[in-house]
Amino acid sequence: MEFRYLMPTEIFFGEDVVLKNKEVFSAIGRKALIVTGRRSAKINGSYDDVRQALSETGVEYVLFDEVEENPSLETIEKGREIGKKNQVDFVIGIGGGSPMDAAKAIALFIKNPEINKDNIFSAGKLDSIPVVAVPTTSGTGSEVTQYSVVTTHKEKTKKNLGQSIFPKAAFIDVKYTYNLPYNITVNTAIDAFSHLVEGYLNTGSTFMSDIYGEKGFELFKYCFEKLINKDLNPEFRKKVMLASVMGGIQIAQTGTSLPHGMGYALTYFKGLPHGLANGILTIEYLKSFKDKTKIERMLNILGLSNLGELAAILNSLIDVKIDITEEEINEYSKEFLADKRKLKKHPEEVNFEDIIRIYRNSLLSD
Ligand code: NAP
Ligand code: ZN
């Protein structure tokens, strides 16, 4: 057996972890750029907790609260300007995956003034100033991954920056998610589930990463039932957050696979939220496997007897109709296959027809 395992983020999980561990902030830096979305962090208590922790430990801060969903490189450049002007020495991302990923990218752009939206994807490996992450959705696991996914309008898609930016610390307090609306709870939970699935069925999966995958499926056995019954109690919130963290640690080792790569076009061109863009493709992706050994094991842990039962769960949670033509499906498939690196994570041979079939069977009703 051979594997590599890396997860350098210090995780603080539990009630009031931001305030209970406030000295972590002052140990990391003297002045922070706080990066958030436009509204939610100010409402769910996360921004107030971080501000209080910083004030009580003498850390200065400035706020950049303009991160949109699926953050663009233009937003990253704007955040960098504010950080530079204020001479911050670390970045705190508070929110869903969008502000956390933006915080990572901004931290990297601050450290490397020569980098901009036009040359980032051809830059070699770069360092960043330190990042702290405070998740307020249970889905992306970005607080424990090295990835930062950004929108590049020039290339008309979303892309991982291609750098390694693990947060130094992740403060995970599920109370910030208590008022997450049902639809965002579903979308983000499905993202977490798709990380677990794609990490588990990945060429990069190892003994270590599978531990997280299997624990995540066990948590999802409970979470799916609660999601379907719309019973989002604190126990559910805790378990879905844990599942999201499991998925994050797992994909930090393995990467994601076909649904994530194929879903980016659905988000960019059709505006589908990230989790749904993957989730809508998941069943057809699973059906495409010739060797179903690991899929059987996954279903077994989920307490399901066949793929049809999983399809019924996902179909009842994913309620979207998207307008898409055969030409668009052809275009997305061509684009997806143009980058061969995206296929390396899938353990079986797939061709143009297979990709078309996954899109078509998932998206076109006949
Ligand atoms: P998001 O885009 O960060 O946020 C979606 C919406 O949820 C926003 O309107 C946000 O409002 C709101 N929101 C966040 N927390 C809330 C709360 N506690 N209560 C009420 N509303 C809340 O969604 P996400 O699904 O978490 O992140 C998606 C992004 O993460 C995508 O760009 C995706 O590509 C990326 N991603 C990254 C990784 C990784 O490893 N780095 C993995 C998977 C996905 P505000 O804008 O007002 O905050
Ligand atoms: Zn994802």
pLDDT tens digits, one per residue of 215-250: 999 999 999 999 999 999 999 999 999 999 999 999
What percent of the chain is modeled with pLDDT above 70? 100
Distance CA 52, CA 47 (A): 9
23 alpha carbon – ligand 1 mean position (Å): 27
H, E, C per residue of 235-276: HHHHHHHHHHHHHHHHHHHHCCCHHHHHHHHHHHHHCCCHHH
Q: Are 105 and 148 in contact (CB under 8 A)?
A: yes
289 alpha carbon – ligand 1 mean position (Å): 30
pLDDT band at 139 (very low <50, low <70, confident <90, very high): very high
- Which pLDDT belongs to residue 99? 98
User: To test ligand 1's pocket by mutation, which of 137, 198, 249, 254 has the most ligand atoms within 8 angstroms of CB?
Assistant: 137
Distance CA 247, CA 173 (A): 17
What percent of the chain is modeled with pLDDT above 90? 97
The CA R_g of the chain, rounded to the nearest whole Å, is: 20
294 alpha carbon – ligand 1 mean position (Å): 30
Whose CA is closest to 223, among 192, 183, 184, 257? 192
Ordered domains of the chain (ranges, CATH)? 10-177 (3.40.50.1970), 182-363 (1.20.1090.10)
From the CA of 184, give the closest atom in ligand 1: 7
pLDDT tens track for 164-199:
999 999 999 999 999 999 999 999 999 999 999 999
Average pLDDT, the chain: 97
- Which pLDDT belongs to residue 105? 99
- Which pLDDT belongs to residue 27? 98
Residue 365 pLDDT exceeds 80: no
Residue 151 pLDDT exceeds 70: yes
pLDDT band at 126 (very low <50, low <70, confident <90, very high): very high
Residue 321 pLDDT exceeds 90: no
Cα 23–Cα 27–Cα 28 angle in degrees, nearest 5: 120
pLDDT band at 366 (very low <50, low <70, confident <90, very high): low
Q: Which ligand is nearest to the Cα of residue 149, counting in written order?
A: 1
Give the dihedral of Cα atoms 78, 81, 84, 88; nearest 10 deg: -30
Residue 299 pLDDT exceeds 90: yes
pLDDT tens track for 60-117:
999 999 999 999 999 999 999 999 999 999 999 999 999 999 999 999 999 999 999 9
Report residues whose beta carbon is within 6 angstroms of any ligand 1 atom.
37-41, 44, 69-70, 95-99, 101, 136-137, 139-142, 145, 147-149, 158, 176-177, 179-180, 184, 188, 191, 274-275
- Which pLDDT belongs to residue 340? 84
Q: In what order do the strands lie in the sheet with 60-67?
A: 10-13, 169-172, 131-135, 90-95, 31-37, 60-67
230 alpha carbon – ligand 2 mean position (Å): 22
Q: Are 249 and 207 in contact (CB under 8 A)?
A: no
Question: Atom 42 in ligand 1: which residue has the minimum CA distance?
Answer: 140
**Can you say how many angstroms the Cα of residue 34 is from the centroid of all Cα atoms in its chain?**
19
